[in-house]
Structure 1
Amino acid sequence: MPLRPLVAFTAAAALTVTLMPTPAQAKPGHRVPQVAGLGVSDLRELLAKRRVTSVQLVDAYLRRIEAYDKRGPALSAVIGVNGRAREEAARLDAERRSGRVRGPLHGIPIVIKDNFDTHDMPTTSGSVALKDLRPPDDAEQIRRLRKAGAIVLAKTNMHEYAMNIYTISSLGGQTRNPYDPARHPGGSSGGTGAAVAAAFAPVGMGSDTCGSIRIPAAHNNLVGLRPTMGLSSRDGVAPLAGTQDVAGPIGVSVRDVALVLDATAGYDPKDPVTRASLGKVPRGYEKGLRTGGLRGKRIGVFTDYFATATSDEQETTARVRAAVAQMGRLGARVVELGPQPEILTAAAGANRVRDEFERDLNAYLASSARGGPAWLAGLEAPYDQVTLADIAASGQVTPSVLSTLKAWVNSPALPNPSYEEKLRQRDLLQQRLNALMREKGLDAVVYPTITRPATVIGETQSYLNCRLSAFSGFPALSVPAGFTANGLPVGVELLGRPFAEPALLGMGYAYEQATRHRELPATTPGL
């Protein structure tokens, strides 16, 4: 049997806290816990029992970042650490001692993709050109997380301007996959994926325009949720395409993802699309998690998204087919859907990124950059604000992304006939997915999150499976489906109708609890 480069994690590990030597950031005599393998749910129990403090957790995660991000496997997942994290943790510890606990995220360190605005740290989109961009306030989801007691520990690398799935940027370099550092971690939220997989934090935030949450989740043996368009605010998140972008969690478990969603979902007047969430947000996503969440559900197998042309595609397909079979054993009715050419055609014609990027990025920069940095704003007209044209002119962007940025300056004005046709195809995709699920009585559609495991750095791979959710705005959940023979993670994706997150999380939880595929990478063991 081939050996996996993995370290097993079981629930029993959550009940044991090993105190480790003091890191450089800690006070003399201060001890830090062993956090590798623990999720939010584990940490909140330890905090509630006063077996650890939030300051100790911050120190433990900082120690792991120091050991593994630039040394050891040199993951390069982190762009910057929050210098006030210990101070914030101490304040939250004091609140806990006084009897105030804000909720399950109280005192929990998290990491966030560096396209979420933070008032106390730069927000760079991974770009040297924006290294001095300091937003005036937090992105709305970050504000809500901090209000819930989460500690922003660090900001993570991303594929620059969210332009691809390999997570390379001029500011952060190439992020590496902790399960095999010769491979990429997925993207564009690959820094968050690698950081959570390596236990730099138990959960993190990413954005998804076409797979950028779900692909890093699949490649790093994690759970990732692309929420319904309109469920959670995108305010303060640097855009790629406003009619496709969403922002959401990547974590070690379905429960942890649900806990983040509990803190972040809902209406935000600063993001008008969230009006659709009114009346659609349950009292608690975590409360709906049951081990019987698959019983009685009908799941349609989207066979068009199962690839078999190469050996690693065949292996991915086999793992996902095994996952579907397991869902059937857990009580789901599995329905083979067969070819869906009309859905594929609509999806192929609905990508709006090329059309919307310049418009939406410039609007974001007008708010978050506030005219600075002045040297950048002064490169191209108008000379008092930063635009895509300035960024392209600066040249301070990783080469593969820079060529795209230059080509997209002065994009055609919107609306135009080509763009209107893409919106029409989006509407058709929504209609056809709804019709398919209604006619077949489906609760979810299932397929591989991505058709191959992470490729070696420098080797491209297809990620067309991102389209159904991204181009329709429907929610999708990626959960671990096991490993290939050489230890590379595989993800299985469940797609639902708009605002079906409770059902998707319930199905994902039931499968996760029955299979326990979560295992730590051997490159980042406990310290």
Structure 2
Amino acid sequence: MHARKLVQTAVLTLTAMWAGATPAAGTPGKFHLEETSIEQLHAALRAGETTCTQVVQAYVARAKAYNGFCTQPVTADGKPIAQAYGPQRGGSVVKFPTQTKAINKLVPDFDRYKGKALDYGHMQPTLSDPSVQQQFGIVAGIPNAGGINGLDTLNIRGERSVTCKGKFDAHPSTGPLPADAPAPCEAFRKLPDALERAAELDKLFGKNIDTASMPLYCVPMSFKAVYDAKDMRSTGGADAKYAMDAAPEDSTLVARMRKAGAIIYAHALNSEYNGGSGDPGGDAKPKLASIGTGGARETWGGTTCNPYDTERETGGSSGGSGTSVAANLVMCSICETTGGSCRNPGTHNGVVNIVPTKGIISYGGGIGANPYQDRPGINCKSVADAAVVLDAFRDPKTGFFDARDPYTALPRVIASKTPYTAALTPAGKSKPLAGMRIGVVRELMVKHAPSDGPIIDGINRELKVLQALGAELVETVDPQYPDDPSIPNVTFGFQDAMAEVLPFHMPEILSWKKADGTPEFGVPGYDVTSRAYLVAASAHKAPWPANLNLRRIMGNPPDTDDTISGYTFAFQMEQYLALRGDATIKDWKTLNQNAQYFTAAKTAAMTNWGNKEMDSRTYDTTYTMKRRDSMRMVMMKVLEQNKIDVFVNPPLSTLPAKIGGAAEPNRELRAGFGYGARLGIPEAHVPAGFADTIYEPSFVLSKDGMQYETVAGTKPTVLKSPLPYNIAFWAGPGEEATLLKVASAYEAATHHRKPPPAFPPVAGEP
């Protein structure tokens, strides 16, 4: 069939689906899209129960139904605002909600507030496309919104690019482009969109699909907006007006997914530029104040919401990767983590998350926050699907190596020689974890506040599942966690190993000072900074500071005068822009000249990043490199000395906050959960249950009335919609196969993954 006719047929069938009709299928009634696996999809294609085109059409229909906006502006009076319109997604223009939330419904005692004027929520045209509006300023989540806003751009002709929008993306078969079309659009329009690629696959293979060479055949996937794609708008979620908003070439991981047969379907909404690494400080100060947690938010795409409760956040910064998989808007998604950016969206949205050792999946062609820690991860609905995706990143000739990413040289010595799918535990196997020792990390199960209880108690219950599967459990010891007499203690813990490793490799830690200038660590009768103490501690002849533990070392160093910071994000963005080679946006200066940001605080932060001179004496980079090497040694010694195969703990101990609401205070107490990204080691996170109770944090006005502070909740609230959480397994570099074995055995025994009930099959969905 002629290419143009293929496209027309696809669009006509898609239109019929939106009208509620069911497209014809080879054997209707067998294949079901919701919660389908890669294996089930391939079986259905071979049986003629569906076609690749019909699968993509069905996902587009779900995006049309469920990818709408789910937040409302926070205003002074709470009055409705005029109807505003967003970008086109799935063939129709998105409508913004007209409702707003009054500030006095969000915070108490607002009549006594004396602080800086607030950055109230409002609608504003985007710089990239003035016909498209977006929410700026403070926003709040909408209960039962009916949408999650998880995908910021779909790979659909006419809407996949702003530069080549509408008629400037007309199929080549329609004739010449208009005379005013931007020059890059002629080459761009020759690239097939998701529907056209599906039609090509159907024409080439029909039922005779080759999953040996294309293991991701016809798998519609999203990927975090920081990963470049040559056939979609690629701006990291920013409202940045590039000369050409699609990237000149695919990021390596997108190219490898494409080669493996995946449908390059959508960019997943993220916290713009991976969260943008905060504000490095500088002359730019926000003129307006923001209040409340924002969740994963972009200036171009808006905010994504939790599919289990759309009033709540999703975890950042890969929020859209988690939500799009959870709500069955895609089959799998590629996230990115610098700290918790894969782990948090995985647990908050109840999806499997596999993050391999740093370097296994290339980061080439992506916008990062800290190149030393940034690494891709995989979100799917099952461990088996995630393993298939992981294997797909191995090139037949070069393996996992990619010349664009120097970290990918490491897998040469640690990558599995056999497919990772071979590590999955076979179904029905009795006691599949017999002979394995699993270490329970109690340092990460301390209840700092009542809000930590629901997840930690839930994970404790799940430990019995691991024992029933044949695993032997041992636990580390923490003075803030009551010892469990039913589980033996390790004979050598993290603090024992830290005492042996840190006095030589990172002695400067013992000299850290608190904000008031007093020493952070101390041992009665010792000067912990002296050579005598350091030597004695390393030989276990002097006590180790009780508060220098796994949680603390994974947190940030104190902000002292000798901390030279601001190098990582400033360097990475400038490097990315130089490599991209855009005619308009070339560096930090031209980026900020051609972009706008969703709050005054974000505008000030990006201005400061652009103005900040990079100091090559950076302490930050040196510290993170030393910490990784030292703490990997600590970790491996604990594993080996106790003959432990895998560690287990919660990936996060608190449930998601309400968008615009108060965040859990004292988050630094829980900083230890960032161990995975900071150590660059593999992690597997698997759905472990649902919590039906939450302890909501709240706002309180400071005594001087100048600012709002947050306090931890003390009273339980029964949730109308239970919220999911995951269990975390982790091990040493290159031990992905061991983690997949444990994770798949646990998953098969529990089946905790459940789709969000508010997003069922749409009319006509197979």
Normalised to the residue count of structure 2, the TM-score between the two structures is 0.62
Whether the 8 Å CA contact 1:350–1:423 is kept in 2: the answer is no
Match of 1:519, SS? Answer: coil
The counterpart of 1:143, out of the listed 255, 262, 270, is 255
Distance verdict in 2 for CA 1:106–1:353, change over 3 Å: farther
Aligned: 1:414 with 2:616: yes
The counterpart of 1:305, out of the listed 419, 428, 444, is 444
Amino acid across the alignment from 1:128: D
Deviation, structure 1 residue 353: 8.7
Q: Which is further off, 511-520 or 292-301?
A: 292-301
Distance verdict in 2 for CA 1:360–1:57, change over 3 Å: same
Map 1:206-355; keep pairs closer than 5 Å.
206-265=335-394, 266-279=400-413, 280-291=415-426, 293-339=432-478, 340=494, 341-349=548-556, 354-355=566-567
Query: Which residue in the other structure is 2:203 paired with?
Result: 94
**Whole-Å Cα distance in 1 between the matches of residues 311 and 417 of structure 2?**
42
Distance verdict in 2 for CA 1:53–1:327, change over 3 Å: same
**Whole-Å Cα distance in 2 between the matches of residues 61 and 521 of structure 1?**
16
Map 1:92-491; keep pairs closer than 5 Å.
92-97=201-206, 99-101=208-210, 102-129=213-240, 132-163=244-275, 166-265=295-394, 266-279=400-413, 280-291=415-426, 293-339=432-478, 340=494, 341-349=548-556, 354-368=566-580, 370-372=581-583, 374=584, 377=585, 385-387=586-588, 389-392=589-592, 394=594, 396-399=596-599, 400-409=601-610, 410-417=612-619, 419-458=621-660, 459-461=662-664, 462=667, 464-485=671-692, 486=719, 487-491=722-726
Amino acid across the alignment from 2:309: D
Query: Which residue in the other structure is 1:512 paired with?
Result: 747
Deviation, structure 1 residue 122: 1.4
Amino acid across the alignment from 2:327: A
**Whole-Å Cα distance in 1 between the matches of residues 375 and 154 of structure 2?**
24
Deviation, structure 1 residue 21: 9.2
Q: Which is further off, 97-106 or 74-83?
A: 97-106
Q: Deviations over 1:304-349 (max 9, x none)?
A: 1114233331011011112222112111111111134443343224
Match of 1:42, SS? Answer: helix
Q: Which is further off, 500-509 or 331-340?
A: 331-340
Query: Which residue in the other structure is 1:41 paired with?
Result: 39
Distance verdict in 2 for CA 1:466–1:129, change over 3 Å: farther
Whether the 8 Å CA contact 2:465–2:746 is kept in 1: the answer is yes
Whether the 8 Å CA contact 1:290–1:509 is kept in 2: the answer is yes
Deviation, structure 1 residue 119: 0.6
Deviation, structure 1 residue 300: 1.2
Distance verdict in 2 for CA 1:228–1:26, change over 3 Å: farther
Q: Which is further off, 272-281 or 25-34?
A: 25-34
Q: Which is further off, 464-473 or 248-257?
A: 464-473
Match of 2:474, SS? Answer: strand
Aligned: 1:22 with 2:225: no
Deviation, structure 1 residue 408: 3.0
Match of 1:502, SS? Answer: helix
After superposition, the CA RMSD in angstroms is 2.6
Q: Deviations over 1:77-119 (max 9, x none)?
A: 1111112111100111123228451333111111111111101
Q: Deviations over 1:337-375 (max 9, x none)?
A: 11344433432247999431110111112112x133x2x
Q: Deviations over 1:474-517 (max 9, x none)?
A: 11111111000131011111111001111111111000010000
Aligned: 1:494 with 2:701: no
Q: Deviations over 1:441-486 (max 9, x none)?
A: 1111111111111111123243624421111111111111100013
Structure 2 portions without partners, runs of 5+: 1-12, 70-144, 157-192, 277-293, 395-399, 479-493, 495-547, 559-563, 693-718
The structure with the largest alpha-carbon Rg is: 2
Normalised to the residue count of structure 1, the TM-score between the two structures is 0.88
Q: Deviations over 1:286-312 (max 9, x none)?
A: 121014553322111111111423333
Q: Deviations over 1:377-398 (max 9, x none)?
A: 3xxxxxxx232x4444556122
Distance verdict in 2 for CA 1:22–1:287, change over 3 Å: farther
Whether the 8 Å CA contact 1:111–1:192 is kept in 2: the answer is yes
Distance verdict in 2 for CA 1:523–1:130, change over 3 Å: farther
Whether the 8 Å CA contact 2:238–2:272 is kept in 1: the answer is yes
**Whole-Å Cα distance in 2 between the matches of residues 478 and 472 of structure 1?**
16
Query: Which residue in the other structure is 2:118 paired with?
Result: none
- Residue-pair matches, total: 497
Point out the structure with the larger helix share.
Answer: 1
Deviation, structure 1 residue 250: 0.4
Match of 2:567, SS? Answer: helix
